[in-house]
Every structure is written in C-alpha cells, then in structure tokens.
Structure 1
Amino acid sequence: MPDRRSDRSDRSDPLGAQQRASADALTVGTAEEVEGAPRGLWSDAWHDLRRNPIFVVSALLILFLVLISLWPSLIASRSPVHCELGRSLEGPSAGHWFGFDTQGCDVYTRTVYGARASIAVGVCATLGVALLGAVVGGLAGFFGGFWDTLLSRVTDVFFGIPMVLGAIVFLSMITLRGIWPVVLVITALGWPPIARIARGAVITAKQNDYVQAARALGAGNTRLLLRHIMPNAIAPVIVMATIVLGTFIALEATLSFLGVGLRPPTVSWGVDISAASDGMQFRNAPHILLYPAAALSVAVLAFIMLGDAVRDALDPRLR
C-alpha cells in the first residue's frame, strides 16, 4: 500500500525530495565504485590465488610439511635414532606403518623427522639466493654502465659452473658437517638466475614515469631503489625463488645421496635414500626407499606447483 504521508511530504517539499533522491543515487554510485575499484598488483594476485585449486592444494601440503618440520613429535612419538637391529628390514605392520630400515630404525619416524633438515636447507638456501641475487641484479640494472658490465660478467662466470659438480667439489673440501655448509654452497652457486631476473625487472621499472618524477623531485639513488623500484620489481624474484626452493630440496637430497651433503647422524630424506640405495636391500625390502623418496617427491612437487600458481597470479600476460 503506498505511503500517502510520504507522497504529501514530497509534494509539499519537492526540493527535499530531489535532495534525498540525489543522495540515494550518490550512495549507490559510491558503493558500486568501491566494489568495482581496481585492485593493486598484490591484492589482485591474492584474489586470484585464493580461487586457484593448485595454489590451495600446494599451500596446504607446504603448511603440513612446515608444521612437521617444526614439531615432528605431533605425528611421530618415537625417536628417529632409536633402532632395534633384531627388526632390521621388517615390513610395514601395526604401529610401524612404514616398516624398519637396515639398522632397525622406524622408517615412518625417520621420514617425518627427515623433513626438518631437508626443508631447512631448501628454505635457508632460497632466502640466501634470493637476497644475493636481488642485490647483485638490482644494482647492475639500476646503475648500468660499468657496474652493469662488471656484475653481468661475474654472473656469467658463475653461470658457467655446473651446480651439482661445483657443489660436489666445494663440499668435498669442507670438513664441517651439518646443514650450513650445504646452504652456503647452494647460495654461492645458485644466485645467478635470480640476479639476471632482478636486473631485467629493475631496468624495466626504472623507466616508469613515477621513477622519473621522483628523481626530478630530488630523490636520491637509495630512496629510488628501495622505495620506488624494488617494490615494483620484486614480483619476478619471488616467483623464481618459490620455484627454485623445491629444486634446492632435491639438490640437497642429491648431494646427500652422493655422500657429500648431509651425513649421519643427521636425519634427512637424502641420507635415508642413500642408505637404502643398495640394490639387494631394495629388492628384499623396497619400503626403506619408497617412503622417503615419496616424501621428497611430494615436497618438491608442492613447491613447484606453488611457484607456478604464484607466477600465473603475478604475471598479467598469463591471464
């Protein structure tokens, strides 16, 4: 039923009715503008990532791996170094889902605890590679000229060193053991690809109008690089770092398998794979190799999938 009082009020005060209608239209228009307002690069990327099933699955897997790396006792109640020689090479059974290895250690417990060293090496090496590569590539791309030529030639020298061969040579000469020598060697040999990506991104970003305007207003090189260029050139570095993280986890396992990476009593997937590499033992007890190898494959695949999803979200040309 129509509201007669409202009709009478509108007729008696037509100017007020017009003002209310204008206010309503302005409110609706403002809400539509806010809802459809353009998002920035990072908010737009997060909007796409949340709707990408590959990102969701890989992120959940990585979150699980990080949790068991920090607190392996959440799902493994035994000690990874508690072994019973009398149960050597026993197959999976109730309470020992993955069976026992050659030394009579519980394979399930060692697989869970092995995530700590393997992921620690991958994460620390990736942080070091990303930082070193971003600094070298960013400086080369920003200053150009002599410094660009010098840093680019240094990058080319490191590009010429095969990563696995170089890591074997350097680790063979180091007497220290543990994760840090492996992290340092991977960092020293793995930064050139990220440096080259950072250099190209900085060269592209410094040609934008807002950088030229900031320079004209008197901004120094440090402010230009840290406040205006790097925040807009860091996306390719993050994508590359996410992808190589899984590669570095596999590299640690490779070096440990060859006997120059992590060594016992350190517990890692690469160490367990190396211990189970005897052909006779694998034929008699395949579980001692399959489970740590499967855990390694899942971790590497999860990080590569995450990197692909992040790349698709941050690169507008792929949309």
Structure 2
Amino acid sequence: MTDKNTTMSQAPGPERETPGVVTDAGRTTTHTDDQVVARSLSADAFRSLRRNPLFWISSVLVVLFLLMAAWPSLFTNQDPHYGVLSRAMQSPSAEHWFGTDRQGYDIYSRVIYGARASILVGTLAASGALVLGSIMGLLAGYLSGWSDTLISRVADIFFAIPLLLAGIIFLAALREEDAIFGIPIQGYFGVIFQVVLVLVIFGWPSIMRLMRSSVLQVKPNDYVQAARALGATPLRITRRHILPNAMAPVIAVSTINLGAYISVEATLSYLGIGLRPPTVSWGVMITDAQIALRTEPYVLFFPALFLSLAVLAFIMLGDSVRDAFDPKSR
C-alpha cells in the first residue's frame, strides 16, 4: 500500500503553470514545472497590437497617407498646379473624380499632393518635439536637483501658452522676415520650416513632462541600481537601461501629437498665416473652398475628409500603441 501511494505520488502529472509575474526589468515571467519562460514587455505589447483591429485599420490608413505624401504620382498623373478656367467648378465625374475648383484645378490631384505638405509638417514637428522633449525630460528626471527645477520651470513657461495662439502670434510676426537664424524662409521648404519651428518650440514641454515622469519611475528599479553599483557610467545607464524602458509612452504620445500637429497646420493655413499658395496642402484647399462652400460643397468636402481621416488615423495608432505598452491597461 505504501509502495503504491509512493508510486502514485511520484507519477508525472500535467504540467502546471502559475500566473505570470512582471519583474522589475519589464519582463513577464511564467513559471512551469520544467521551465521558466521570460517574455519582455515589448513582446507582450506587439502581441496585444496584433489582436487589436483598430491598430490594423489605423496602420493601413497611415501607410496609405505616407505613400500619398512620398509618391503622389502613384495615385494621380495630373499636375495639381495646372488650372484651366474653362473647366472651373465642374462636379465630380469620371474625368475629375473630386470635381474642379473655381480656378480649374483638379481637386483629386490637389488632395493627393496636399498630403505631402500636411504630413511633412506633422512628421517634422512631432519628431522635433520628441527629440527636444526627450532630451530635456531625460536630463530633468535623471539629474534631479536644480537641473530638474530649471528645466521644469522653463517648460512651464512654454506650456502656459496655447499652441494655436503661439502659432498665430509668432507666424504673424515672422511672416515678413527673410530668414530665421540665418536660414532663408522663402520658398516651399522655407514656409514649412516656419510652421515646424513654431510647433516644435511650443510642443516640446508636454513630451518633456511625460519623459521626466517615465524616467523617475524607471530610475529606482533594481536593474538600474545594480548597473550603478557595478560602476556603469551615467551615460551608459541612461542609454542602456533608462532610455529604452522610458521611451514607449513618449513615442505613443508623439504619434498622437502628429495628428494634432496636422490639424494645427490646417487651422493656421485656414487663418492665412500657415502654409500659403502656391504650396498645396489640405489647409490651403479648405481656405480656398470657403468662397464656393454654399454652391459647390464638394470643393470643401474632399480635403476636409482626407484631413479628418489622417488626423484620426494617427490618433488611433497612438492610442493603440499607448494601450499596448501600458501594462495597467491589460
């Protein structure tokens, strides 16, 4: 009887698995009888993204808009600057899918080419704010003390001014200038540089605050303390341990901000102080469409539709990435 019970107790049973445990280094560890499986936070995030339909919908839209901005010739072979007055204000047809405006421009080709300026402004502004805000937030969070106080107070000054109001004031003041810091601002890229510069200067404080709080959460972790005890330099600690674990929420919010910057550019262009003709952008097209809004609403409808879809796509993509990299939301 004893031998039988002993044999039964030693018989191999089904593998048991205990709930996953999130370690300090951001890894989800699953314990089994025979092995320990470690899954990184990034792997969990990408697995969550693959199951999120909003991520795939927004990704397809973002890729489509990026293709429109990079290679508009893939979508149309018409010149957006070629206008014929004899075909002005034609309704959508097989020849002109979105119709023509009051100057005889093909609206479809201008909507396609307008993606380049709008998305270029949003991408450059979001990237510039991400780099500047991340550096400032990293310095404030890691150094602490007077450095944190100084950077935080400077950020508060810029953060107190609404982004749209700052754009209106500074772009109106810079409109008659020929150069900024020795950089000419005439021409296509010059006008874009103006708008991007203002958005970066007044957009980095929000990224700085988020990065600072992420660094303050990561800095007390055991793997950071262990690296410091082993004699790692501050540069190595920030580059190898703090920055990779603090960047996920910052990148997600920057993606959301990209959509917001596109809408701000359109608003500034509508007010006549952002991008201006002959630059083609969705904001410029909306400005031109207000004259014929009551009689030919399609002139406004199509650029506004593409602008709304682009902003919505980037915001949905940023929300999906933020939720995936936030363990508390799962």
TM-score (norm 2): 0.84
Post-superposition Cα deviations, 1:67-114, rounded to whole Å, max 9, x if no partner, equal 111111111110000101111111111110100011110000000110
The 5 A counterparts of 1:133-144 are 133-144=133-144
Give the 4+ runs in structure 1 shifted more than 3 A: 32-36
CA–CA separation in structure 2 for the residues paired with 1:306 and 1:74: 24
Larger radius of gyration: 1
- Give the whole-Å Cα distance in 1 for the aligned partners of 2:103 and 2:261: 28
Choose which of 283, 287, 296 in structure 1 pairs with 2:298: 287
Measure the CA separation in 2 of the matches of 1:194 and 1:36.
37
The code of the aligned residue for 2:136 comes to: V
Match of 1:108 in 2: 108
CA distance in 2, matches of 1:209, 1:53: 36
Q: Does 2:72 correspond to 1:59?
A: no
**Secondary structure at the counterpart of residue 39 of structure 1:** strand
1:111–1:215 CA distance, 2 compared to 1 (3 A): same
In 1, distance between residues paired with 2:255 and 2:71? 23
User: Aligned pair in 2 of structure 1 residues 316, 58: CA closer, same or farther (>3 Å)?
Assistant: same
Q: Which moved more, 1:294-303 or 1:173-182?
A: 173-182
- Residue type of the partner of 1:171? L
Match of 2:145 in 1: 145
Deviation at 1:33, TM superposition (A): 9.0
Q: Determine the structure 2 residue equivalent to 1:162.
A: 162
Answer 1 or 2: which has greater strand percent: 2
Q: Structure 1 CA distance, aligned partners of 2:119 and 2:272?
A: 18
CA–CA distance in structure 1, aligned partners of residues 296 and 192 of structure 2 = 29
Whether 1:304 aligns to 2:312 is no
Cα distance in 2 between the residues matched to 1:298 and 1:37: 41
- Shift in Å, 1:38: 3.2
Give CA-to-partner distance per residue, 1:177-213, whole Å, 9 cap, x none: 4211111110001011110000000011110011111
> CA offsets per residue over residues 7-26 of structure 1, 9 Å max, x none?
xxxxxxxxxxxxxxx9xx9x
Question: Which shows bigger deviation, 61-70 or 165-174?
Answer: 165-174
| CA-based RMSD | 1.7
The answer to which structure has the higher helix fraction is 1
Q: Look up the equivalent residue of 1:221 and give its one-letter code.
A: P
Q: Tell me, in whole angstroms, the C-alpha distance in 2 between the residues paired with 1:317 and 1:33.
A: 28
- The aligned amino acid for 1:218 is G
Q: Which amino acid aligns with 2:244?
A: P
Change (3 A) 1:64 1:201: same
Aligned to 2:248: 235
Q: 1:262 aligns with which of 257, 261, 275?
A: 275
Measure, in 2, the Cα distance between the counterparts of 1:302 and 1:58: 5
Of the structure 1 ranges 201-210 and 40-49, higher mean CA displacement relative to structure 2 is found in 40-49
Percent identical residues: 52
Cα distance in 2 between the residues matched to 1:155 and 1:35: 49
Give distance in 2, aligned partners of 1:116 and 1:44.
34
Among 303, 324, 327, which residue is 1:313 paired with?
324
Q: Where does 1:52-131 land on structure 2 (aligned, <5 Å)?
A: 52-131=52-131
Partner of residue 223, structure 2 = 210
Note the C-alpha offset of 1:214: 0.8
Between 1:82-91 and 1:148-157, the stretch displaced more is 82-91
TM-aligned CA deviation for residue 273 of structure 1: 0.4
Q: How many pairs align?
A: 288
Q: Distance in 1 between matches of 2:33 and 2:284?
A: 58
Structure 1 residue 36: deviation in Å? 8.3
Confirm whether residue 171 of structure 1 aligns to residue 171 of structure 2: yes
Runs of 5+ consecutive residues of structure 1 not aligned to the other structure: 1-21, 26-31
Cα distance change, pair 123–60 in 1 and its aligned pair in 2 (3 A): same
Q: 1:101 to 1:197 in 2, by over 3 A?
A: same
Deviation, 1:219, is 1.0
CA 100–274 in structure 1, closer or farther in 2 if over 3 Å, else same: same
TM-score by length of 1: 0.87
Matched, 1:249 2:265: no
Residue in structure 2 matched with residue 28 of structure 1 by the alignment: none
